[in-house]
Structure 1
Amino acid sequence: MSSALVPLLRAQDESGLAGLLADDVRFHSPVADYSGRADVAHLFGLIAGVLKDISPVREVTDGPHVTTFIEAVFGDGNLQGVLDQLYDNENRLAEATLLLRPLGVLHRAIAEMGDALRAAPLPSAR
């Protein structure tokens, strides 16, 4: 199994992202933890808009666990990271953890995500 999430993020495919997620999906971002299909799909859509050129570098698979090493562009900086994914028996994403570096670029990306969330709040916050 390879990552179904990374190509959808790269393509900014919001409907595909929502369709990939389990109802009770959990997402552990660099800032907070989120749960539920609507909120996580919304966050993934915002992330895909903030980070550009999300590209897989390497992938490690162990049954339903997929760990994808990624690179992305944010503004004039580059980010490297790890996207750890767990898929359920129906090949839906049940849990994901995103780790990113370097810290300076990550701080700027977090600030832009905060702006994006203020402009388009999570469904659970509306």
Structure 2
Amino acid sequence: MATHRSRRLRKKLCVDEFQELGFELSFQYREEIGEAGIDDFMQRFAGLAVEPNDLVYSGCDEYGFICLARRGSVSEQQREWIEGWLKQQPELAGFKVSPLMDAWYPDQPVNPTAPRA
């Protein structure tokens, strides 16, 4: 059954043309890093990779979600930039970066016609 919603309601619900995208991250650290090294990494990650790109990271030191710091969607270029930055970090034994996904309703498919940042 199709749901007919006003433009105002679609915007408030972040659906259809107002869908907002982000991506999931997970980190695996080298064994020798320790808690202090993980804390230092997370501070650098926030200060050098996330905040300068107008993004926000929500989560812990093992996994989390990145979305835009304002209303809108993370671009594929921003996602790729974060992935490239993570590849250069010596503290990480591995990491995973998900494809872009709906930030509000993760089970919903990405709407290819929605405008992107």
Give the TM-score band, short-chain normalised: 0.3 to 0.5
Which has the larger share of strand?
Answer: 1
| Larger gyration radius, structure 1 or structure 2 | 2
